[in-house]
Structure 1
């Protein structure tokens, strides 16, 4: 059984019925009947179905939306190529001045100099 056809109608009608009963229960003449609590409980119980329906509806993509997204992405890529935004700069940036004694740039720059005279630690 496909519930996607019945879920929007069931979720929305249950949610609106719960809100209606809850609002009618707030009237001063109906406050002792507990209709407000029952109506709001029904409305809150219908919220997961409403959320599931809205998530399912928002995740469906039509062929027209998909082709529009591809076309817009392709046009943006062509615009970037035309403006030269995808080209790499010809000269690397200037690294700046180093202080005397600093390590030359390489793959690894040590933040703390290593010491070879490490004594073995023992627990007390």
Structure 2
């Protein structure tokens, strides 16, 4: 944590707590000047508190870095043991020199085999579809 963030954390928390208490007391005792003073203290403390909390939340400890590295290493070992990294993957269309059963083939349904509730957006033979159906 940077030196400034460490130095501002306790004073910003204290100032925001003091501002909240002062503003609450100003409201309860019907003293608008005390309320304004508490609100000014609270608003002044918010940017410093946000800065400190942002640095605190984004800081990664050595333990977290070590754990992340070892988890990635274990995952890579698991992929190697399962053979996921050893064999090249075929492209979806098969590519050149790939047999048909090895390709991940894209399935197309012929127009005649479509269910009754499905209408193609554009006809395959570039003819306009004259059927009109009402929404149900």
Interval containing the TM-score (normalised by the shorter chain): 0.5 to 0.7
Kindly indicate whether residue 14 of structure 2 is the aligned counterpart of residue 9 of structure 1.
no
- Report the counterpart of residue 46 of structure 2 in structure 1: 47
C-alpha separation in 1, matches of 2:33 and 2:84: 66
CA 33–96 in structure 1, closer or farther in 2 if over 3 Å, else same? closer
What is the correspondence of 1:12-27 to structure 2 with a 5 Å cutoff? Answer: 12-27=13-28
1:72 offset after TM fit, Å? Answer: 1.1
1:98 offset after TM fit, Å? Answer: 9.5
Greater RCO structure (CA 8 Å; 6+ sep): 1
CA 38–85 in structure 1, closer or farther in 2 if over 3 Å, else same? farther
Structure 1 residue ranges without an equivalent (≥5): 100-124
CA RMSD of aligned residues (A): 2.5
| TM-score for both structures, normalised by structure 1 | 0.63
| Correspondent of 1:94 among 101, 105, 109 | 105
1:52 offset after TM fit, Å? Answer: 0.3
